[in-house]
Copies of this chain bind each other. A is one copy, B any other.
Amino acid sequence: MTTRSDCLAMDAADALAGLRDQFALPEGVIYLDGNSLGARPKAALARAQEVIAREWGDDLIRSWNQAGWFDLPSRLGDKLAPLIGAAKNETVVTDTTSINLFKALAAALHIQAGSPSSAGRKRIVTERANFPTDVYIAQGLSSWLARGVEIRLVDSPEDLPAAIDAQTAVVMLTHVNYRTGYMHDMKALTARAHSCGALTVWDLAHSAGAVPVDLNADKADFAVGCTYKYLNGGPGAPAFIWVAARHQAGFQQPLSGWWGHAAPFAMQAEFRPIDGIRRALCGTQPIVSLAMVECGLDLFAQTSMDAIRAKSLALTDLFIRLVEDRCAKHPLSLVTPREHARRGSQVSFAHPHGYAVMQALIGRGVIGDYREPAIMRFGLTPLYTRFIDVWDAMEILADILDNKKYDVAAPRDAVT
């Protein structure tokens, strides 16, 4: 039997333990929602102050050159690259995940439409359980395209290989499911897509900084993701888009704004895309929010995704085991895969009163979140989550369940 002392010993032996000091975490809170909004790197405040007071306030318009504002999307993209198996000049940090997905999906469909062997393909294959905005963006794009596109919503990950066929233009998947924590086999599904002549678009919202990702080794085609979850870039910080080098010359997307122009300051009347990944840019970026992304990325340079993954699996294994042992008599069911290879960096449990139980947990300082239907999500973020946090969260959960300390009639927040 694991004890609280064992958890303290695990923290004492944890090579990543020191990184927690580089985050500003409030007292009395066990924060298990880094899969929704990452905690604040201490450095982010000073960085924002520098951008606001000196770069904006003192240097004003000159900062576009002097402070490198204009290059920031590419510079941050290159800094992010090692975490997702990207090469230099394949990634930019810009816009939102939804908008970047629109670009990637449009570009993939455009490449397929121009390919003699794929021009007739009209199907996007994705999952019904995908994060909704991904499906909405595919719906929005397809209804506006010159040629009709059909979206096939697959009901189960096991059905995906068979659903990808010679009619498939693009396979669009979120690598780690936001609700269940299920992680797809990127390499196998990409190979399956390619064997059918399809291209892949991967959403890494719950993968980047959470699990090892190797886009180039897995031969992925396009990817997008967000920086405000496991990458700790700040609330709503700009997202990223990755385009494999081999696709960049053919990359065309409808949001052809001036930042993607070959000569943005020549003020020409005809759009001519710049060579390389910057053709994925569109308009002027929110510099203060963008600059803070770097503070999150800098923390990853102090460790490795392998070390993060080892701790993530240890944390999620521990949480599953402790909760299942201690709360065995309650109607909790594990939603997240037990198999390491299929698990992201979260643990989701379903409970008939999941919303109310989660509200009670939050009231006791254990911040996870709730997702329809009936699912309590616990994000375990190795940069700042301790083994003792896992223990204490489990104890509070057990107390709430054992003593029915939750209010099934509690009103719901607008944003849950």
Task: Write the residues of chain A forming the contact surface with B, with a CB cutoff of 8 angstroms.
Answer: 24-26, 29, 31, 33, 36-37, 39-40, 44-45, 48-49, 51-53, 55-65, 69-70, 95-99, 102, 106, 128, 131-133, 135-137, 139-141, 143-147, 153, 179, 226, 228, 234-239, 253-259, 261, 264-271, 282-290, 292, 362, 367, 369, 371-372, 413-416
Bound CA span A266–B133, Å: 12
B283 touches A96 (CB 8 A): yes
Q: What B residues does A153 contact at CB under 8 A?
A: 269
Instruction: Closest B residue to A271 by CB, please name it.
Output: B136
Q: What are the 5 closest A-B residue pairs judged by CB atoms, nearest first? A: A96-B283, A286-B289, A140-B256, A98-B283, A98-B257
Q: Decide yes or no: A60 and B257 within 8 Å by CB, A269-B153, A286-B290, A288-B289 being known contacts.
A: no
B257 touches A136 (CB 8 A): yes
Q: What B residues does A239 contact at CB under 8 A?
A: 283
Instruction: Closest B residue to A129 by CB, please name it.
Output: B269
Instruction: Pick from A33, A132, A266 the residue with the most CB of B within 10 Å.
Output: A132
A135 touches B269 (CB 8 A): yes
Bound CA span A183–B25, Å: 51
Q: What B residues does A282 contact at CB under 8 A?
A: 96, 98-99
Q: What B residues does A36 contact at CB under 8 A?
A: 61
A234 touches B141 (CB 8 A): no
Residue of B133, B139, B414 touching A283 (CB-CB under 8 A): B133
Q: Decide yes or no: A144 and B106 within 8 Å by CB, A44-B52, A96-B257 being known contacts.
A: yes
Q: Decide yes or no: A267 and B132 within 8 Å by CB, A97-B284, A98-B283, A106-B144 being known contacts.
A: yes
Q: Decide yes or no: A62 and B367 within 8 Å by CB, A45-B49, A49-B49, A141-B254 being known contacts.
A: yes
